[in-house]
Structure 1
Amino acid sequence: MSRYTLRILLVEDHPFQLLATQCLLKSYGFDQLTPVENAEQAIRTMIQSEQPFDLMLCDQCLPDLPGLELVEIASRRRYVTRAILLSGLPAEDLIKLTTQASQRNLPLLGYLSKPLNKDELERLISSTFNV
């Protein structure tokens, strides 16, 4: 039985990372997951959705569009309410992206370095959504 009702869009182009992140989220009770492999699939999925996603977990280094750009498209069109970037980039690059998101008024909660740390993931989600 699902513990949480958050609708999460997971955008990750690496199959192993996509599967591992899904398993991690499901272990926390997040069952309303929609996994996609690139920005094009994400946009198509968001357009077809009847309501906005509560959260988008998005790889920064997608093959077809930088994650932060996808976050901007999704938030401007009201397809998502919040987002978290996932990346293997150095921390200083991720901090710059967070600053850019803030300057652009994007609903970015922060970033998570890969491989994902389950405590950090839980902290970001639970502090925002009170779960």
Structure 2
Amino acid sequence: MPRHTLRILLVEDHPFQLIALQVLLNNHGLYRVTPALNATEALAALERSPEPYDLLLCDQRLPGMDGADLIETASTRGLIRHAVLLSGLEPTQLAEIESEARRRGLPLLGCLTKPMNTLELLQLISPESSDL
């Protein structure tokens, strides 16, 4: 699927970071981005969507529900195809979260540290490395 047609739900609880991430994505040809400030907003957007989102890009630490649980909920309901977690946690902690997500059968492409390196995201979602 061409990058410019990917439907992305971006979930970040810090408004400034949410805007900055959306601008970064737009600057790399990813324009179909729906922003959400928390898991409740994200789930509402997912439920309203007539088809699953191609990618759920979300912060691991969200108020009320962590990112891995949001991914599991959305995936179980058939509302997303893939996901990427963002976090300021240490790389070893992210590796543990990623391993646990894979054990749980979540459609996680990977975990990225914050601030997000857009090139790392583009590698994760490239056709060569995933089935996006």
Q: Distance in 1 between matches of 2:13 and 2:130?
A: 26
- The number of aligned residues is 129
Q: Deviations over 1:31-74 (max 9, x none)?
A: 11100000000111111110000000010000110100000000
TM-score by length of 1: 0.94
Q: Distance in 1 between matches of 2:3 and 2:89?
A: 32
SS at match of 1:34: strand
After TM superposition, give the deviation of residue 4 of structure 1 in Å: 1.1
Q: Distance in 1 between matches of 2:24 and 2:130?
A: 18
| 1:103-114 pair list within 5 angstroms | 103-114=103-114
Moved over 3 A (4+): none
Calculate percent identity across the aligned residue pairs.
Answer: 50
Q: Distance in 2 between matches of 1:56 and 1:44?
A: 13
Give 5+ residue unaligned stretches, structure 2. none
Match of 1:128 among 123, 127, 130: 130
* Residue 97 (structure 1) aligns with: 97
SS at match of 2:26: helix
Counterpart amino acid of residue 118 in structure 1: T
SS at match of 2:42: helix
